[in-house]
RNA sequence: GUGACCGUAGCUCAGGCGGUUAGAGCGCCAGGUUGUGGCCCUGGAGGUCGGGGGUUCAAGUCCCCUCGGUCACCCCA
């Protein structure tokens, strides 16, 4: 209770050296580095968009009927404008693509992102109000190889980081003509059993019946056994697209399961839909999801349709999966050098020496509280310093400072002006091994 | 938004049916003689017992409210 204020519900600080990886900066840095490395290798380029977007972009992009828009947005008015803290990144990326006419650049746009998103849900394991998404989008390509590539980068990231036990499920939702036909058929079927449906499903029946497909209620799942099947309604072209996608995935040796009940919570998906799940990370088992969204650009005002496909993944859930896989992530980073000084004259020299070390590229620490030698040595040890340079009255008068290699305890004297080059050579030597 | 469980030092936790100055381990700080870390020993700092109200002679311990955490529903990343 040192402070009156604390992080608000569903948010958390990320600190150096925290015990739990998801709360530790060094772990985040490592994971982010890994994600970006894979994205880079797949020739995606990073895009950064504002956290604040116009509410209408999200509402029209994701769909008014979705849970995200209808009840999970952090939005507020200011002047005559309504703003949202972005709940996801796909709509903003497409907005940027249209705004900056990225279609005019040569070839397809291959964009990736990583950053905070916000949803006003009740927090629980793997679910926060401020959370982080990373993902990739390919805009301007109709071919199913784009769908396949999106799935491939996604899988590569988890594989690279050492996540095991994932389960990829895929489906096709059909196009803008066949999907409504199926919707009607499903609606008509479920209407007969309306009384047996849960209140939520009853609500959905009228507005968004496809969402009922992924219900967890046992008797509803039973009812769905006799329901019209989505694959039977999918149009010829979507069917072919889907078959081709499976072919590419097979060629790439990606394992997947087909799930005709897989639908997604965002309205903009057409044809391909997929989800990456993990069985051992709790109720929030979806690591990532995505699909094709050829209608989104038009929905947010583009005069020309933009074929597009992408995935989005949760960083916090990735941490859960990493933990389940037993992957260890880095903690506090050691320093190369720690400079110890005793007495005002030595402290003055030491201050300059510290800066000289840093200019030479050495990670260098020191303590300016005027502690005892013993205490300063202790700090050097805690900082996991490779070397300690000791400066006191004796060193000042002799011109020779002490250099101690902490691991071995070996200590030698050397002229003050040779220290930096000596430490540099030591660092280079250890870098090679 | 609904439900269940939980909330004591920086961290992990003890604190039988309410009763003297609230404890431990780890961590932190400082000593263990003259200028040296990690091990060990000694000492010290640090808590309005999440916050507010109530019951009582007396509450960390009981009741209510509130805030937060956790897990599940829901939803999705």
Whole-complex ipTM? 0.89
CA of A8 to C1' of B54 (A): 29
* Residue A409 CA distance to nucleotide B22 C1' (Å): 44
pLDDT for residue A63: 83
**Nearest-5° Cα angle at A113, A321 to A320:** 10
- Give me the mean pLDDT over the A71-76 stretch: 89
Residue bearing the bigger pLDDT, A3 or A86: A86
* Segments of A230-329 assigned E as strands: 257-258, 270-278, 286-292, 308-314
Q: What span, in angstroms and rounded, lies between the C-alpha atoms of A12 and A9?
A: 8
Q: Which nucleotide is nearest to A284 (CA to C1')?
A: B76
Q: Is the pLDDT of residue A2 over 70?
A: no
User: Across residues A312-330, what is the average pLDDT?
Assistant: 95
Question: What mean pLDDT is reported for chain A?
Answer: 91
- For the CA of A278 and the C1' of B5, the distance in angstroms is 26
A21-177+235-324: CATH topology is BirA Bifunctional Protein; domain 2 (3.30.930)
The pLDDT of residue A1 is 43
| A196 confidence band (pLDDT: 50, 70, 90) | confident
What is the mean pLDDT of the segment spanning A74-95?
Answer: 94
Q: What is the pLDDT of residue A36?
A: 98
Protein residue with the closest CA to the C1' atom of nucleotide B2: A122
Q: Measure CA of the first residue to CA of the last residue in chain A; give whole Å.
A: 47
Quote the CA–CA distance of A146 and A117 in Å, as a whole number. 25
**pLDDT score, position A291:** 95
Residue nearest to nucleotide B12 (CA to C1'): A19
- Identify the band that residue A228 occupies on the pLDDT scale cut at 50, 70 and 90: confident
Q: For A9 and B67, how far is CA from C1' in angstroms? A: 10
Distance CA A391, CA A161 (A): 44
Note the pLDDT of residue A222: 80
C1'-nearest nucleotide to the CA of A126: B77
Q: How far is the CA of A228 from the C1' of B77 (A)?
A: 29
Q: Is the four-CA dihedral A48, A51, A55, A59 of positive or negative sign?
A: positive
The number of CA neighbours under 13 Å toward the Cβ of A420 is 15
Q: Which residue is nearest to nucleotide B77 (CA to C1')?
A: A314
Q: From CA A427, how far away is CA A320, in angstroms rounded? A: 35
Compute φ and ψ for A354, nearest 5 degrees: -60, -45
Q: What is the largest CA-CA distance in chain A?
A: 97
Nearest nucleic acid nucleotide to A62, CA to C1' distance: B76
Strands, DSSP E only, in A245-344? 257-258, 270-278, 286-292, 308-314, 337-341
- The percentage of residues in chain A with a pLDDT greater than 90, rounded to a whole number, is 71
A135 nearest nt, CA–C1': B77
Q: Could you list the beta-strand ranges (E) of A193-285.
A: 257-258, 270-278
- pLDDT value at A198 more than 60: yes
Q: What is the pLDDT of residue A252?
A: 97
Average pLDDT over residues A271-292: 93
Chain B bases under 7 Å from protein CB? 1-3, 10-11, 28-32, 35-38, 47-48, 50-51, 67-77
The pLDDT of residue A5 is above 60: yes
pLDDT in tens, A48-70: 999 999 999 999 988 887 888 87
pLDDT per residue as tens digits for the range A338-392: 999 999 999 999 999 999 999 999 999 999 988 999 999 999 999 999 999 999 9
Split at pLDDT 50, 70, 90, the class of A431 is low
Residue A3 predicted with pLDDT over 70? no
Q: Which fold has domain A337-424?
A: Rossmann fold (3.40.50)
pLDDT of residue A214: 77
pLDDT confidence of residue A195: 79
Note the CA–C1' distance, A45 to B29, in angstroms: 50
Judge whether residue A333 has pLDDT over 70.
Answer: yes
Count Cβ atoms below 10 Å from residue A181 Cβ, excluding itself.
14
Give the residue whose CA sits closest to B1 at C1'.
Answer: A122
Q: What is the pLDDT of residues A100-134, one digit of tens each?
A: 999 999 999 999 999 999 999 999 999 999 999 99
Nucleotide nearest to A396 (CA to C1'): B35
Residues A327 and A321: beta-carbon distance below 8 Å: no
Nucleotide minimizing C1' to CA distance for residue A277: B77
Q: Of A27-41, A68-82, A103-117, A397-411, where does mean pLDDT reach its minimum?
A: A68-82
Q: How far is the CA of A365 from the C1' of B33 (A)?
A: 29
Is a pLDDT exceeding 80 seen at residue A187? yes
CA of residue A12 to C1' of nucleotide B54, angstroms? 34
Every domain of chain A and the residues it spans: 21-177+235-324, 337-424
Mean per-residue pLDDT, A190-219: 79
A343 CA to B54 C1' in angstroms comes to: 60
């Amino acid at each position: 209770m040192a402070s009156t204020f604390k992080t608000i519900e569903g948010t958390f600080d990320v600190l150096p050296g925290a015990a739990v990886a998801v709360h530790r900066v060094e772990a985040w840095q490592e994971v982010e580095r890994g994600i970006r490395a894979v994205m880079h290798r797949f020739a995606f380029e990073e895009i950064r968009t504002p956290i604040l977007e116009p509410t209408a972009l999200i509402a029209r992009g994701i769909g008014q009927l979705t849970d995200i828009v209808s009840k999970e947005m952090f939005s507020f008015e200011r002047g005559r404008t309504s703003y949202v803290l972005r709940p996801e990144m796909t709509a903003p990326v497409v907005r940027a693509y249209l705004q900056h006419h990225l279609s005019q650049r040569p070839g397809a746009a291959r964009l990736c992102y990583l950053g905070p998103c916000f949803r006003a849900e009740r927090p629980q394991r793997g679910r926060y109000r401020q959370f982080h998404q990373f993902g990739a989008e390919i805009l301007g390509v109709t071919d199913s190889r784009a769908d396949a590539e999106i799935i491939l980068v996604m899988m590569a990231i988890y594989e690279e980081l050492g996540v095991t036990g994932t389960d990829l499920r895929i489906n096709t939702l059909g196009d803008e003509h066949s999907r409504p036909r199926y919707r009607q058929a499903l609606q008509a079927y479920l209407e007969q059993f309306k009384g047996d449906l849960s209140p939520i499903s009853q609500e959905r029946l009228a507005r968004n019946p496809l969402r009922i497909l992924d219900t967890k209620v046992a008797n509803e799942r039973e009812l769905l056994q006799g329901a019209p099947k989505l694959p039977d309604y999918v149009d010829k072209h979507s069917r072919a697209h889907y078959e081709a996608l499976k072919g590419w995935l097979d060629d790439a040796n990606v394992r997947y399961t087909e799930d005709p009940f897989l639908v997604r919570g965002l309205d903009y998906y057409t044809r391909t839909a997929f989800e990456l799940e993990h069985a051992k990370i709790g109720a929030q088992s979806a690591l990532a999801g995505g699909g094709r969204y050829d209608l989104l650009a038009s929905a947010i005002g583009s005069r020309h349709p933009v074929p597009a496909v992408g995935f989005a993944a949760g960083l916090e859930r990735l941490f859960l999966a990493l933990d389940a896989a037993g992957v260890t992530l880095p903690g506090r980073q050691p320093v190369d050098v720690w400079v110890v000084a005793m007495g005002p004259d030595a402290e003055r020299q030491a201050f300059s020496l510290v800066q000289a070390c840093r200019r030479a590229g050495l990670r260098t620490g020191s303590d300016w509280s005027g502690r005892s030698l013993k205490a300063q040595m202790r700090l050097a040890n805690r900082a996991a310093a490779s070397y300690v340079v000791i400066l006191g009255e004796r060193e000042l008068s002799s011109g020779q400072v002490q250099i101690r290699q902490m691991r071995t305890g070996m200590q030698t004297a050397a002229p003050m002006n040779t220290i930096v080059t000596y430490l540099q050579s030591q660092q280079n030597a250890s870098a090679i091994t």
